[in-house]
Amino acid sequence: MSAPWSREEFEEKLREKGKGYHIYHPFHVMMYEGKLTREQLQCWVANRFYYQIGIPQKDAAIMSNCPDKEIRKGWIQRIIDHDGDGTAEGGIEAWIKLGEAVGLTREDVTSLRLVSPGVRFAVDAYINFARQRPWQESVCSSLTELFAPHIHQQRISSWPSMYPWVKEEGLIYFKKRLTEARRDVEQGLAVTLDYFSQSREMQEKALDILQFKLDVLWVIADAIMLASTDIKVEDRDYLRQPR
């Protein structure tokens, strides 16, 4: 049995997982490079809304499994960030505004009618993971947020020149997340480094959990790409799920 990695080595291994982050998915590369059409960007925003509304449900599941009051006191902020509270609107509302900024209506976004089955499956898998697994494992699965500020920053920097037709207030969501994600990661990383450092096997399990979450994000991008790629009309109809 191998000795556990030191805290620093373990954190380094978790960070190395960033090489599989969806920032490298062809759809996100195209987005950054300004190669998406208006319809493709709209499709991404409409589909990603399903992730946005799933996040607070996932965080509520983590809290429901967590008996530690101090952890819950910190974690509840994530739900407020997305749902809002008496004084401020949250990320879900900011995402709807992003939808309007790219030319969708509020109804286009909130009705979920543009959400593809692959995105539903992936997001539901993430929520179900948090419902079923010990809370520390679910906390670990949130650590893709280690890599999120970079992708948010890319959008803030590239969209105004690449997609000048997107209204400026659309970027508010990404700007908010820059600080929120960094704070989330501090708490998530502390829990993960403490809990999984008991043995090398546990540390490797944490890496597997992070991979699961990377896969969730990757599959979401796959599904959106498939749903929005400009292919022959006959093929597209074939791909669309009859209801």
- Tell me which residues touch ligand PQQ (CB under 6 A): 55, 91, 142, 144-145, 148, 151, 177, 217
Q: What is the 3-state secondary structure (H, E, C) of 76-141?
A: HHHHHHHHECCCCECHHHHHHHHHHHCCCCHHHHHCCCCCCHHHHHHHHHHHHHHHHCCHHHHHHH
Nearer to ligand PQQ, 72 or 200 (CB): 72
For 164, other C-beta atoms within 10 Å of its C-beta total 9
d(CA 172, CA 167): 10
Closest separation in Å from C-beta 148 to ligand PQQ? 4
Closest separation in Å from C-beta 241 to ligand PQQ? 25
Nearer to ligand PQQ, 156 or 202 (CB): 156
User: Which residue has its beta carbon closest to ligand PQQ?
Assistant: 144
Number of H helices, E strands in the chain: 12, 0
Closest separation in Å from C-beta 239 to ligand PQQ? 24
Nearer to ligand PQQ, 5 or 121 (CB): 121
Closest separation in Å from C-beta 200 to ligand PQQ? 25
User: 206: which 2 tokens?
Assistant: 């944490």
Nearer to ligand PQQ, 120 or 236 (CB): 120
